Structure 1
Amino acid sequence: MTQDPSAQADPSAKSSVRRDLVQPAFPARLLAGYEAFKEGRLPQERARFEEMAENGQRPEIMIIACCDSRVSPEVIFDARPGELFVVRNVANLVPPYSPDGELHGTSAALEFAVQALKVKHIVVMGHGRCGGVHAFVRRSRNPDDDALSPGDFIGKWMTMISPAAEALPTQEGESDHDYAERLAITSIGNSIQNLLTFPCVNILHGRGQLQLHGAMFDVTKGILRTL
């Protein structure tokens, strides 16, 4: 069980966190939310938390979702603690298998879910009005567009959607918005194909022991469509 952040810290305890890097006030909204959780849901789920603390997590489903704050898988699927193993990144992308010795957060989470947790399902869940996808479309049609904010990571990350874009021709009279919405769906299929480049996924999927799924969530209407 994690420590209650509202409790007084032991003044004799040594912290490994540099105090000059910590803001003086923890966000009040988070503390209020924790208090609501502690008084409401925690008593209802206490036995479950204690059982998982003792025996570990055993989720059967991994969800790869966008880090957009509007599309929390735990909320959308009304999940209990321990039911879903979730990894979130910009535009819910899955990189192809590339054991190059570099740092790969999504790939590491995927490997852990499949080989250690032995999940039975992997769901790639996209969503409408995805900022990453729309920014990619604007930048691809206007290289001077600064939709993908300048930086060291986001532009390179979003190039993973290029194969999906190359496979999706534009329709006559189609707006950038409508094309981006279609591209978000096509990108899910591309991510599923990339999942199969991982040997552990490919082998278990071929044996019927691991199922791959796509889903699209409409943030305006709150409707989930399985693909």
Structure 2
Amino acid sequence: MEHARPLPKYLVQRYQGWKATSFSENKAWYRRLASEGQHPRAMIISCCDSRVHVTSIFGADQGEFFIHRNIANLVPAYQPDGNQHGTSAAVEYAVTALKVAHVIVIGHSSCGGVRGYYDMATGAAPELTEKSSFVGRWMDILEPGYQRIKDAYSGQDCVDHLEKEAVKVSLDNLMTFPFVSEAVNSEELSLHGLWHDIGEGGLMYYDAGADTFQPV
């Protein structure tokens, strides 16, 4: 592994500052987490976007959330085909091993992955249509959401609505996992959809009955 290098100095300094303050002041809590294992109440599926910081949004401490991040906060449909599925594995572990009570999918404004899908669907990003594009093939998951709204919206308006459709597609796909649907139907698990406005600090939740997103 000759390509690996030491951490940049600014990260080393930040680590040392954390170790001397936050960790040192809460050492008993960290040791408890280490010895007793994790028991998170919720799994959060969010975008990889560096601007989306779910622990800050909810003021969460270590051990509260089991967090999985991917491009555009998408969950693929259940497909046990022997291939490697990172998101599906995370969902399985959260629901069957950790027994979380909530799975929360949170989308956000100005999502680059969603914009990429729209550009791909409208012919503006031919490189994403290539079979070799990991991003393009991942964003194919969003197609059902695009099909629902493509005739009603266009341009930036369509992109804005697609960000919320990404949340809805993920919620739909979660229910294709047998262990998820079983837990939901037995009221051991609840699913939630959120959308976060980065610039305004807003948060909206998906109201399934009205099929709309409402302010929290």
Do both proteins adopt the same fold according to a TM-score greater than 0.5, normalized to the shorter chain?
yes
> 5+ unaligned residues in a row in structure 1: which ranges?
1-17
The answer to whether the Cα contact below 8 Å between 2:42 and 2:101 also exists between their aligned partners in 1 is: yes
Which of 149, 153, 168 aligns to 1:168? It is: 149
CA deviations 1:90-136 (Å, max 9, x no partner) are 00000000000000000001000000000000000000000000111
Query: Equivalent residue for 1:22?
Result: 4
Matches within 5 A, 1:183-202: 183-202=162-181
* SS at 1:40 equivalent: helix
Which of 179, 202, 212 aligns to 2:158? It is: 179
Q: Percent identity?
A: 38
CA deviations 1:14-52 (Å, max 9, x no partner) are xxxx2x1212x4122221221221122112332221111
Query: Equivalent residue for 2:12?
Result: 31
The runs of at least 4 consecutive aligned structure 1 residues that moved more than 2 Å come to: 143-152
Specify the code of the residue in structure 2 equivalent to 1:77.
Answer: F
Structure 2 vs 1, CA of residues 144 and 213 (structure 1 numbering), >3 Å: closer, same or farther? closer
Q: Does 1:73 align with 2:34?
A: no
Which one has the largest radius of gyration? 1
Aligned length, in residue pairs = 206
Choose 114-123 or 72-81, whichever is displaced more.
72-81
Query: Equivalent residue for 2:182?
Result: 203
* SS at 2:81 equivalent: coil
Q: Does 1:122 align with 2:103?
A: yes
The answer to whether the Cα contact below 8 Å between 2:128 and 2:136 also exists between their aligned partners in 1 is: no
* SS at 1:212 equivalent: strand
The answer to whether the Cα contact below 8 Å between 2:184 and 2:190 also exists between their aligned partners in 1 is: yes
TM-score using structure 2 length: 0.89
> What displacement does 1:72 show?
1.9
Matches within 5 A, 1:45-194: 45-146=26-127, 151-171=132-152, 176-194=155-173
Counterpart Cα distance in 1 of 2:88 and 2:73: 12
> 5+ unaligned residues in a row in structure 2: which ranges?
207-216
Query: Equivalent residue for 1:212?
Result: 191
Structure 2 vs 1, CA of residues 35 and 128 (structure 1 numbering), >3 Å: closer, same or farther? same
Counterpart Cα distance in 2 of 1:75 and 1:175: 33
Query: Equivalent residue for 1:224?
Result: 203
TM-score using structure 1 length: 0.85
Q: Over the residues paired in the alignment, what is the CA RMSD in angstroms?
A: 1.8
The answer to whether the Cα contact below 8 Å between 1:62 and 1:86 also exists between their aligned partners in 2 is: yes
> What displacement does 1:78 show?
1.6
The answer to whether the Cα contact below 8 Å between 2:51 and 2:198 also exists between their aligned partners in 1 is: yes
